[in-house]
Structures are given as C-alpha cells and as structure tokens.
Amino acid sequence: MATVHYPKHLPKNAARYKSAIRIPYVRTASDDYPDGINAYIHERANGAPSSGVNRVRLRPKSLRAVVDQLCNFLTYLETDEAHPTIPGLSWQDAKEWHVTHLYESAQTLGVWSQEYFLTGIASPLEPETIGGRVTEVLRCYGWLEENGYISGFQEEGTLGALEHAYQPISGQRRNAIQRDPNEPENKAFTPRQSTGQLIPPSRNQFHQFIEALTPGTHRTVALLIYETGLRLSEVVENTLLPGIIHCRNPDATFHLPNFPAEPYLLSWSANNDRMIGVLPDRQQARDETARSTTDCSYRIVGKGLVIRRIDIPARLMQALWHYVEGPRRAILRANGISVHNQPAQLFLNRYGKPLSAHAIQDAFRRVNNKIKCGYRFTAHALRHMFACDFLHSAIHARARLFGQIGHNSGELTFDLLERHGDFVVTVLQKRLGHKFRETTLVYLEQLRLSLAGLDHTTAWNEFLDD
C-alpha cells in the first residue's frame, strides 16, 4: 500500500533551518516516488491551486488530511482486488471515471473500508468522507493535467468498459451481504462508539466548556448546534446570509437541481427552493411580535439530501446577527474584504474565509484539552445533548399542560415518559432529520434508563443503609 513520509526533523536551534518547509510526501507500494502527486502536495501546502497573491498556507493537520486522501486513492489504484478487470493501474493512467465510478462507488457501497477488509462486512462510509476524498483527487488530477504531468484524464470510458469494471464491486457487495452470520468476526476492528451510549455531561461541565470557547465564532457555533440540533456539516453548509450575491458550489456535499449555476442574490424565503440554507433576515430576528422561543424558521439540506425545517430560537437568531455585525465584520475589516466581496457563509475563520468543519473540531479539541472537565465535547455530543434536553423539556411541558405535573422538573416520572414520549419522539425525529424512528428512540430509551436507574439506585442505597 502507498505510505506517507515526512522529512527528517531538523535541529530546532539552527537558525538556517527555521524557514525550512517540512512537507510530507507519498511513496507507492513499490517504493516509487510519484513526482506529480508530490509536486501537487507541495503546491497545496503553499495555498495552490487557489489563484492570486492571497494564498494561505495549509496548517499541518489540514495538509496531512490532504496527503492521507491522496495516499488512500493511490492505495486503491495499487489494489488489484478492488478493480480486477483493470489490474496494474498506475497513478499516471487513472481517468476521471475511475474516480467517480469505481473509487467513489466502492466507498459508497462499503467495500473499501477498514471494517470490510477486517471483517468482510460492507461498511458504507459517510458522505462527507467520500465527498472530501473524491473532491481532493479530482482537484489533484486537474492540476496534474494542467501542469503537464498527465494527459487525457477526462477521457470518457465506454459503457461496456464501465459495466465490466463495476461488476466486481457489486459482486463484493453481494458477497458481503450474504456473509454467514455465524462466521466468527475478526475482533481487531473497533467500531465507532455511539454518543448515545456515553454518560451525558452535567450542566456545570457544559457551561465550563462554553465559557472556555473563544467569544465570537467558535462559541456561537457551539450554541447554534446545541440549541437547534444541527449536524456539523449542516452548520458549515446551511448558514448562508441573505442579501449577498452567492454562487452555489457544485462540488459541495450537496447540490440540488433548483440551485442556479450562476451567482444570484440570496434572500430568506419559507418556500423558495433556491433559498434553501439561507438564514432568516434581520427583520425576522428583531420582530418584536415574535414568540420568545422558535419563530425564526428556515429550510436546510441535511444528510442524504433530505430537506427539513429548522427552528432557531428568536434570542439565538438575534445573537447570530450580533455576531454578523460585530466579530464577523471585524474579521472582514482586518483582512481588507469589502462587503461586496464577502463570503455568503455566516461563520468565517481569521482569514475571512468560510469556516471549515475541521476548524470547528480543532477548536473544540483545544478547549477540551484546556479545561479537562472529564467530558469530551464534540459537535455530535452537543447534538446529542440537544436531543436529550429537548425530550426532557417537551415531555415535562406536555405533562404540565395536562395538569399531571407541577413546575418542578424533578417530578417527571417513568409513567409520564411512557404516556407522552412517543409523541415527542415523532417531533424530535423531524427536528434531527433522522430517516428511521428507531434512531431517535435511542434518546428516549436513555431517558427512561436514567430515571429508572435513579429509582433503583435510591432503593439499593436505602437497602444498604438498613
């Protein structure tokens, strides 16, 4: 398989080495040096293929992600079992349809993953992972062709060649589905742990995390995820500001047919499909007649290209516009970006560019290492907190509406959960954008177990005291 290498570390105290660029490079399974790929990595580290003089060098972690994506594709090309009808495929001979039809389909079907090779079970990757890999490979090969390292990358394969090359992939998929369930699995693979199985954080830990975040961009992102239940990718891609001329990027994770190919003026709309992902405007946020809870609604494109409604609390929507008029405007001013040339994305990094999901995760990681409160906060953990707190508060509100409970949330009982839980889960499923109801029921089950566990623990302690 292809491997990633780093130059040897240079002496830190040597003045002549201070400006040295330590850029990783890749080698193929045969220990060859793919000069074109590594030349692209060098350019990518220095801000290419962006044009102009305002290149921004990638941070080490971002560059490593790019190198890993390209290394994964090189490994795929070298693995004849992944495409037995076209063995011996080198990086110079790869075509665009190899990437978009074979490589992407293998990941989508789940036959090109760590779990598949260790257990034989098809494991489809997340669309964000697949999209990031395919986009980076296509960008790399476009640069290689432009700079003369390869030619004919965009040559279209014949229909027969496509079907012949794709047949082994679908065959592997069928074999994985028909795998004998009694066959022992390789335990070397450790599946990702579900957040729903973790111990929820305390309110004190949550407030400690929020207060430790840098005021402005990162703290606002965290509050938006917690108060709305948005996924991290949805925050990055569905928070466009009205009043800005924007061009929908066809290489983004989603691209609906209703999105125009040319730039157009964004505006908030409740039913215009061209304006999906555009936040409510200032008038909606500052409407004095609005309810104090959720009166700022808009539609987004979520996982699996599912369009759903998001309700942002009016107070939070006002905080978002305060961020636009305060920290965000200061970022634009510091980078010399005029209002006519500003990005349409709500959240910006310090360079005035749209904030990436990686940057948000990195900020959360730094805060976790700083506060060391005993809980690791992530974007998904905040979404999990939203689901649990939404269930608890909604069930309590319904019980209070029917006169079954007082204002003390501690009076919530297991019987009330059973009586009102199903209705609230239906609402929560739509809020979270879950395709299957069973996915949302996990949160209700956790709430049941927490209440039942508390009662049983109290009884056990009383037994021990006796």
Asked whether residue 55 is domain-assigned, the answer is yes
Nearest to 440 by CA among 375, 378, 394, 376: 394
Domain end (from 319, 353, 374): 374
Are both 81 and 140 inside the same structural domain? Answer: yes
Residues 73 and 95 in one domain: yes
Q: Is 184 among the domain residues? A: no
State which of 146, 177, 208 marks the end of a domain.
177
Question: Quick check: is 187 in a domain?
Answer: no
User: Do 125 and 250 belong together in one domain?
Assistant: no
Which of 149, 177, 205 corresponds to the end of one domain?
Answer: 177
Both 453 and 341 in one domain: the answer is no
Residues 366 and 386 in one domain: no
Q: Decide if 116 is inside a domain.
A: yes
CATH number for the domain spanning 313: value is 1.10.443
pLDDT at 189: 44
Residues 367, 450, single domain; the answer is: no
**Has residue 404 been placed in a domain?**
yes
How are beta strands 25-27 and 245-246 bridged, if at all?
unpaired
In-domain check, residue 188: no
Residue 24 tokens, joined: 């990783």
Same structural domain, 13 and 31: yes
- Domain identity same for 451 and 334: no
Domain shared by 369 and 259, yes or no: yes
Residue 400, domain member (yes or no): yes
Sequential pLDDT tens for the chain (466 residues): 788 887 765 445 444 444 445 688 898 887 788 889 989 998 888 877 654 445 667 888 888 899 999 999 999 998 887 888 888 888 998 999 899 888 988 888 888 877 777 667 777 888 888 999 999 999 999 999 998 889 889 887 766 676 777 777 766 666 665 555 555 454 444 444 555 555 678 889 999 999 999 899 999 999 999 999 999 989 998 999 999 999 987 556 667 778 888 899 999 998 899 999 999 998 888 775 544 455 789 999 988 788 999 999 999 999 999 999 999 999 999 999 998 899 999 999 999 999 988 889 889 999 999 998 888 899 999 999 999 899 888 888 888 887 777 655 556 676 777 778 788 889 999 999 988 888 888 888 877 777 655 556 666 777 777 6
Number of domains observed in the structure of the chain: 3
User: Do 257 and 361 lie in a common domain?
Assistant: yes
* Centroid of chain to Cα 447: 26
Task: Tell me what pLDDT residue 156 has.
Answer: 77
- Residues spanned by the domain of 113: 3-177
Contact by Cβ (8 Å): 25, 41? yes
Whole-model pTM? 0.60
Residues 124 and 160 placed together within one structural domain of the fold: yes
Q: What is the pLDDT of residue 230?
A: 94
Q: Is 189 inside any structural domain?
A: no
pLDDT at 357: 86
Same domain? For 128 and 241 the reply is no
